[in-house]
Amino acid sequence: MAYQLQAVLSLKDELSKNMKSAIKSINAAKKATDTFRDSNGRLRDSMGRFTKANHSASSSLSGFTSHTGSAIQAVGALSAGVLTAAGAYKTLQATVGEAMKMEQSQVTIDAMFDNKKLSKQYQDMLNSFAIKSPVLDSSEMFANSKSFISQSKDVKQLEKMWNLTERLLAVDLKQGVEGAVMAMKELMSGDTQSMVERFEMPRKALNDIKNLPLDQQLAALDKLYNKMGMTNKLVTAMGSTSLGYITQIKEALSMKFRAVGFEALKSLKPIIGDIKNAVSDGALDGFFKSMGSAFAFLGSEASKFANYVKTN
């Protein structure tokens, strides 16, 4: 009988221990919940203060705009429009963006020729060349033109350089236009390394060519290319492949998109100039200072919350 009573008491004592442990866990969970609720409330208050600060920054911008002329008002309107148009980035890049890059290339070419007539002849030649080529496009040809113009300002010689570059690319497209132009330029300057390493051209034959006058270099390269099977017939044959067709279609479309971009720039450029002047003259400093303060406050509060999460 005494044995049975001792067993019952032992069971009750174990149940008491488990109950105490469960109550302790519940209290701990309640405390953690209360702490989270308090932290969440403080975060909500912080976000409210940030919204108020941001509203203050917007009010500051409104006050600034109301005291400026129509040119600065146009800047404010365009700034809002730029933010709204962020989703149309790809379209802008294909039109206005490409027109801007082409504009820079054209300025460089004009400056290097220092002759409007010759510069126009060269640029017309590039556009005509690119539309027919299965491996070249006008954007890259314009961007890399400075390397060839530094060697010659004779449009016929420049056309020959691009013909040789096209044939070089036809046998190794992965080197890209920039790589082919660089190899050609280095050779014309007396260095064969890129031609040998990038395009696996015979070093001995190139050593015989590298120190010749430019006219003779171009003629000798043409002869070497033909001997190696890198002929104009090869380029023509590549133009009838599926990839060749696609390259030419892409070039035709890019020219159309770029033309649209140039039309847009006629209206946009004066406004861009107004923005540049406004930023340079400090007219927007007040707005950006207010916006900076608002975002600094948000960053500080976010940091506090992140530290709380990490700690708890």
Residues 125-153 pLDDT 10s: 999 999 999 999 999 999 999 999 999 99
How high is the pLDDT of residue 238?
85
Q: Return the structure tokens found at 201.
A: 């051209």
Residues 177-209 pLDDT 10s: 999 999 999 999 999 999 999 999 999 999 999
179 and 117, same domain (yes or no): yes
Whether 74 is covered by a domain: the verdict is: no
Task: Find the distance separating the first CA and the last CA of the chain, reported in whole Å.
Answer: 53
Of all residues in the chain, the percent with pLDDT exceeding 90 is 42
How far apart CA 36 and CA 42 sit, in angstroms, is 10
Residue 13: pLDDT over 80: no
How high is the pLDDT of residue 86?
52
- Indicate left, alpha or beta for 69 from its phi (over 0: left) and psi (-120 to 50: alpha): beta
Residue 257: pLDDT over 60: yes
Residue 287: pLDDT over 90: no
264 and 170, same domain (yes or no): yes
Whether 73 is covered by a domain: the verdict is: no
How high is the pLDDT of residue 296?
74
Q: Are 185 and 148 in contact (CB under 8 A)?
A: yes
How far apart CA 65 and CA 60 sit, in angstroms, is 9
Residues 87-128 pLDDT 10s: 556 777 777 778 888 899 999 999 999 999 999 999 999 999
Q: Tokens 């044995």 map to which residue?
A: 3
CB atoms inside a 10 Å sphere around CB 167: 22
Q: Are 234 and 167 in contact (CB under 8 A)?
A: yes
How far apart CA 59 and CA 290 sit, in angstroms, is 10
Residues 207-237 pLDDT 10s: 999 999 999 999 999 999 999 999 999 999 9
Provide the domain count of the chain: 2
Average pLDDT over residues 51-74: 50
Return the H-helix or E-strand segment holding 44.
Answer: helix 2-66
How high is the pLDDT of residue 99?
82
237 and 104, same domain (yes or no): yes
Q: Are 289 and 124 in contact (CB under 8 A)?
A: no
CB atoms inside a 10 Å sphere around CB 76: 18
124 and 258, same domain (yes or no): yes
* Structural domain boundaries enclosing 55: 2-68+283-311
CB atoms inside a 10 Å sphere around CB 195: 24
Q: Are 72 and 65 in contact (CB under 8 A)?
A: yes
Confidence of residue 68 (pLDDT cuts 50, 70, 90): very low
